[in-house]
Structure 1
Amino acid sequence: MGRNSKEGCLGQVRQRRIYAAIREAHTEKEYPLELACELLHVARSAYHKWASGKLSRRAAENEQLVEKLEQLHAESPDKGYRRLNDNLRHDCGIHVNDKRVLRICRARDIRSTIKYNNHGCTRRAKTPQYLAENLLDRQFYAAKPNEKWLTDVTEFKWFEGMKVQKLYLSAILDLCDRRIVSYVLSERNDNLLVFKTFDKAVKANPDAHPLFHSDRGFQYTNRAFHHKLVQA
């Protein structure tokens, strides 16, 4: 989608907020409509068109999206735009791409209350025993469950007095609905952590044969893990 369409989507959402402000000033605070429109640089004819509901199809869709996204965000403020779009798709039957949802969320200042940092801690193997081709090729979506699994190890660090404590989370995520297929917590970032995570996922989904994507960390590029992939 080009720059003009991006700006158009943002402009529609911002314009809606301006129209809503004019309506509030006029109806609730008895501000003269002509003056409110003049101060906010809006033609009265444009405002009346909006107030009467004569919006373009795209603008009407964006209004519905704003309403749904604000409702979903109020219910789950921890969710980012991708997970909100998952809810739109699975719970509301609304199918739009992530970029459109992101633009609307930015325009409405809808953002997750949780800040995510990149704490991926898998170390690249110095002498990898097996390197697979990158079949995913940045196509981070899937049409059905168990089609594509994504995995990584995350490090959590905190202090107890002056001593640093660490905990490692290995997880496998389904790219269709972003559910966590399996996860394992450990005090050690080693092969066993990754192997246990994979074994749990396979045991819970015995009929699944997904494309399995990871980085080239030492746990994922050894022969033992490759053997597990082949056997699964």
Structure 2
Amino acid sequence: MLKKVRGDRKEAKLSQIRFKDKYVAIQELHQNEGLSVSLLCEIAGIARSAYYKWLNRTPSSRELLNEEIIKEMKILHEKVDGIFGYRQMTLHMNRKFEEELNHKRIYRLMKMAGLRSVIRVKKKQYKRSTPQHVAENILDREFTAEKPNEKWVTDVTEFKYGQSKKAYLSAIRDLYDGSIVSYVLGHSNNNQLVFKTLDQAIVL
């Protein structure tokens, strides 16, 4: 029985480590963007109970230090207009905290916090093309409606979670009262996602 309890605790601890990036992403999106925890857990493929268990845990001294490092890195990143890569950031963090922080640790924390050197960002070259079809500007910036279902607008929002995964939320909003007529969550941003959202709205 004792072995089983120890085994369960070990498995729970490994699970927290394995899904840490997802937990952090859910926490930041919920706090900064106001997105639903249930929705984010569904996208990340984890149970809400597991997320809340991680959220209510007692942070280790290393985790607390990581939070302080990320906080200082964000301040410095903004101060230098994002020109520091992880090597320069490591030098400054070592001076700031007066200890030898590994550059791999700083690189991982920068990635977790979404901090990237602007020098390393290369813009993709796109060839200009003539659109095959240009929709008529029916709204003409008149974003109000006198009755329900008179004017609908749609948009697709991209969410990043985990190491490099993406999810897309397609929604249709009624300009009469701002209510969401329908929404569909998918892992590909394509016409099928938008058509599915429209089909759902028409059925409703």
Shorter-chain TM-score above 0.5: no
TM-score bracket relative to the smaller structure: 0.3 to 0.5
Structure number with the higher helix fraction is 2
- Between 1 and 2, higher relative CO (CA 8 Å, sep ≥ 6) is seen in 1
With normalisation by structure 1, the TM-score equals 0.36
* CA radius of gyration, larger in: 1
With normalisation by structure 2, the TM-score equals 0.40
